[in-house]
A = this chain, B = another copy of it.
């Protein structure tokens, strides 16, 4: 298991499960987004405030590997890492693990960017510190 910069504990809610009794595929994107926003918030970046200022963090690509299902009531956690892949693009690497057996449920790679109200790429200055690796001189 890799080290993660941020981790979030969650629990499956029954309404998130479909008729197969497992969490629906789409719901994992909710978990991943919520974890990213909590990570940003912990770093002082409020997605809601940015949206009100018409600065939009948007997903341009997502790759999801579904490894093992989550079921109603399952406790799980999301681990998160972040990489800058170009001046205006960053990649969140996120993995979801089940608590009961420590098994990897989902591995995800989400590429994001930021745009302003005119739809032009725009990286808010407060995001810059996120890309300085911990433990290295800035």
Binding site of A, secondary structure by majority: helix, strand, loop or mixed? mixed
A17 x B18 contact (CB < 8 A): yes
Known contacts A26-B30, A62-B62, A72-B47: A37-B14 contact under CB 8 Å: yes
A15 x B34 contact (CB < 8 A): yes
Which residues of B are found within 8 Å of A26, using beta-carbon distances?
Answer: 15, 26-27, 29-30, 33
Query: How many identical chains are in the complex?
Result: 4
Q: Choose the segment among A52-60, A77-85, A89-97, A130-138 that binds chain B (4+ C-beta atoms closer than 8 Å).
A: A52-60
Residues of A within 8 A of B (CB): 13-15, 17-21, 24-27, 29-30, 33-34, 37, 41, 46-48, 51-52, 56, 58-66, 69, 71-73
